[in-house]
Amino acid sequence: MFGRNVSGENNPAYGRTKELHPFYGKKRPEHAEKMTGENNPAKRQEHKDNHHTKTDQFRYEQAERWKTNNPMHDPKIVEKVRLAISGPRPNSRKPKNKTPCTYCGLLCAPHILSRFHNENCKLKNSNV
């Protein structure tokens, strides 16, 4: 923040405790006295009643305005996006062709089949 070491004695506020603090023993500023208790506008009842409250009608009207002014609600664009989402994905993984093991009948991918099944299957010599 300061671009230099400000820990310990290098800190500008080092040693400014109690009597050395600039506001120690002083009264609160006049503005702070006016804002205490019921004089604070954020604590008044009318502020609590009207603050951040919106009626359902207002929210409905606002949603309708957003629908009419939003280019994403244009039917042509909506259909284009719907096709893009539901259509085939060119980079998606294709399912592997699974083939059954000749001894146990388990369906597996070719690399698993060649490693653990067919000639290497545990059930090769059993009577299953």
Q: pLDDT tens-digit profile of 12-23?
A: 788 777 787 777
Q: Rounded to whole angstroms, how far apart are CA atoms 72 and 82?
A: 11
pLDDT surpassing 60 at residue 54: yes
Report the pLDDT averaged over residues 121-126. 87
Q: Label residues 40-51 b or e (16+ Cβ within 10 Å = b).
A: eeeeeeeeeeee
pLDDT surpassing 90 at residue 27: no
* Structure confidence at residue 106 (pLDDT): 93
Report the pLDDT averaged over residues 91-101. 81
Confidence of residue 7 (pLDDT cuts 50, 70, 90): confident
Question: Residues 118, 109: contact at Cβ < 8 Å?
Answer: no
